[in-house]
A and B are shown apart, each in its own frame.
Chain A
Amino acid sequence: AQKITQTQPGMFVQEKEAVTLDCTYDTSDQSYGLFWYKQPSSGEMIFLIYQGSYDEQNATEGRYSLNFQKARKSANLVISASQLGDSAMYFCAMRVRGAQKLVFGQGTRLTINP
């Protein structure tokens, strides 16, 4: 069985600072994908970034980067130069190869202070 753990229920960061949201995962499969989604108060789930288990380089998408440490089974999301609009819930998720469904973590509520 797969499991995603996000240990930070809430994070408070000053605007323009970088922030790291933690995510650890557990799976016995060798081929899998890791995802990060942002959910603002409106409820919409916004895809941020994807990392494949065989990708040699860490994924980056604009201000988002994924710090992938395969041996430690961690996939932390790094947001550089945080903005007020980054305040939202953030979910880490995983899907193993051949499976259809995503397994989600509990989420981290990020609040950016001005």
Chain B
Amino acid sequence: GAVVSQHPSWVICKSGTSVKIECRSLDFQATTMFWYRQFPKQSLMLMATSNEGSKATYEQGVEKDKFLINHASLTLSTLTVTSAHPEDSSFYICSARNTRTSSKETQYFGPGTRLLVL
């Protein structure tokens, strides 16, 4: 299957700092990328959907000023957690899909980033 990478795989930061997480599709063009958040023993919660070259669409209740998403190219999307606080500690997973390829229904996921804010 297609490969999606995420960097870093884990990060520990102080409260008030900003953290940037990168998501890359390595062997296909990701016209659409998704960012999810997952708390322990829970399902994935979609935060936002981004299409290459346009602004991200945020889910209800997700602060767009706090979680900045940039999808500048067909292979890279970034999530920046601004002024992180302990309650932002979570597992963040990105996902990518090539919506221009009708035969590709599958959405591929990155390995995730564990964020711990002290």
Contacts and interface: CB of A to CB of B under 8 A. Distances in A.
Contacts of B114: 43
B44 interface: yes
Interface string A1-12: 000000000000
A101 to B, nearest CB: 6
Interface residues of A, number: 20
Contact of A43 (B32, B42, B91): B91
Interface stretch (B62-70, B78-86, B103-111): B103-111
B108 to A, nearest CB: 6
B93 interface: yes
A47 B2 CA distance: 10
B1 interface: yes
Given A50-B106, A91-B43, A107-B43, A45 B93 contact: yes
Interface string B3-15: 0000000000000
Chain B's interface size range is: 20 to 34
A107 B1 CA distance: 22
Contacts of B105: 33, 50, 52, 95
A107 B40 CA distance: 12
Interface of A: 33, 35, 37, 42-47, 50, 52, 91, 95, 100-102, 104-107
Given A43-B91, A107-B42, 15 more contacts: A35-B107, A42-B111, A43-B93, A43-B111, A45-B112, A47-B1, A47-B108, A95-B105, A100-B32, A100-B34, A100-B49, A102-B107, A104-B43, A104-B44, A107-B43
18 contacts: A37-B109, A42-B111, A45-B93, A45-B95, A45-B109, A47-B107, A95-B105, A95-B107, A100-B32, A100-B34, A100-B49, A100-B97, A100-B99, A102-B107, A105-B43, A106-B42, A107-B42, A107-B43
